[in-house]
Amino acid sequence: MINIVVVSHSALLAKGVEELARQMMRGDGCKLALAAGVDDVEHPIGTDAIKVMEAIESVSDCTAIVVLMDLGSALLSAETALELLDPEIAARVTLCSAPLVEGTLAALVAANSGGSLEQVLAEAQGALQAKQAQLGEMIPGQKPLNLPLKKGKSLSWKVQNPHGLHARPAARLAETLALFDAELVLEKNGQCANPRSLNQLALLQVHRGDTIRLIADGVQADEALAAFKALAEHHFGEIVSESQQPSLHGIPVEESISSGPILQVARFWPQIVERRVGPDDVLNEQQRLRVALQHTLNDLNKLAERTGALIGKPQAAIFGAHCMLLDDPDLQHAAYTRIAQYQCNAEQAWQKELELIAADYRAMDDEYMRARELDVRDILRRSLSHLQQQPIPPILITAPSILILEELMPSEVVMLDRRMVLGICLSGGSALSHTAILAKTMGIPMVVGMSGCMTKTHTGQKAMLDAARGVLQLSH
């Protein structure tokens, strides 16, 4: 494995490069680490050799590390970091002079595809070739690919992608074909390219309506052609011709593209039986509520610990806030008073008090604060489940799937197995809810407000989720 480190004067610039890179990467064949900016609130622009060293160490579980930098002093910081590193790690580090944005993307695709260090460096260094060719500039040292067109088997495809084989679908093609033991060449109108190279694919300048032909020869030629055909039929991972296939639309949260089977998840809410209680039962109902709230508080503390360990302390604070709301003496006193005054059971009293709080949030002008009503209902559901002794069923996922739900609670998101979730579509929800914020932090493609997603899909149905556009395309 070859990992990549980006060194930049600007944390925002580095984050932008990372966001682009995540759009290109599939699988876990390469790790990316950032060393950007300095810890100075008033003057955040700069580079720090210690940060560079720590970034390199964080991805040192590999055979080689390629470091890309933006400006001259970033190189100085990287060179200083090499002197600070353990010699064994430093010996595996290569500083690369390629352009930061284009070079990082090209290097990541090559590394994620299992390319050698030489191939990764060559892709990074040649990352400007497509731009130079499009602008009519001379490309120093460019050599045409010379593979015999008459050799091997071939398969042709007319590209239907609206923007042709731009960076993202080209990256999918390069990574897919990297797996096969075969000699491969992609041809368009007599011009040839290595389909395992993002740069070579860009030089072909494949537009919508162009016909491309993959020629394969070798041990796994048939497998390579079959993989090419399957990827092409899915338009290299992009949504195409929405008028020909049914699709649903919503609001993007975490932007990515994924495809796989749908798994519909039914919404669970504890069944509440309303009943009046006698004067002698008031203390018993108050005690029932007191015990249920303590169990709920224990649950929330465990969720905060899990979130802090798996995602981060800022995200764990979400459940810390839940604990503060639940443990509010005034709120609890109001519920106990309601039980005594109206002689209702604990469930009715507690539900009424929390519904009043949720309604207050929904009435707020600020959209971010309105989204907090979901947190209140998350707490309510959990405490009612303890009162009713109806455990909240976990979301069981037996194979990687796109989850379709009416709504998803923040406490449910952090319990998901990220490896099994290809994406999430909610018929309701808000892009500013803590559910959306947690999903985004976990890197889960997500779309909210997708009206009809529960009624127009079914479990097992194949679909492609383009979370960048908020579109779920369904197979027939």
Give catalytic residue positions: 9, 166, 434
> Token match 């682009």: residue?
20
Q: What is the spatial distance between Cα 392 and Cα 377, in angstroms, rounded to a whole number?
A: 14
Q: What is the spatial distance between Cα 454 and Cα 451, in angstroms, rounded to a whole number?
A: 8
Instruction: Give 343's contacts (C-beta < 8 A, 6+ positions apart).
Output: 276, 277, 278, 279, 282
Q: Work out whether strand 93-96 and strand 153-158 pair parallel, antiparallel, or are unpaired.
A: unpaired
Q: Give the CA radius of gyration of the chain.
A: 27
DSSP state, residue 443: T
C-alpha distance from residue 461 to each of 83, 256, 264, 302, 323 (Å): 55, 20, 10, 35, 39
> Token match 């809410």: residue?
269
C-alpha distance from residue 16 to each of 10, 11, 32, 466 (Å): 10, 9, 13, 20
C-alpha distance from residue 222 to each of 104, 182, 186, 328, 472 (Å): 32, 9, 15, 66, 31
Q: What is the spatial distance between Cα 67 and Cα 254, in angstroms, rounded to a whole number?
A: 27
Q: What is the spatial distance between Cα 196 and Cα 66, in angstroms, rounded to a whole number?
A: 19
Structural tokens at position 153: 């088997």
Nearest C-alpha neighbor of 319 from the set 294, 298, 300, 306: 300
Contact between 421 and 444 under an 8 Å Cβ cutoff? The reply is yes
Query: Which H or E run includes 398?
Result: none
Structural tokens at position 446: 């997500």
**Helices 282-310 and 346-362, interaxial angle, to 10°?**
50
The amino acid at 169: P
Q: What share of the chain is helix, strand, coil (3-state, %, to 5)?
A: 45, 20, 35
CA angle 302, 305, 310 (to 5 degrees): 125
Nearest C-alpha neighbor of 193 from the set 144, 239, 151, 158: 144
Contact between 375 and 235 under an 8 Å Cβ cutoff? The reply is no
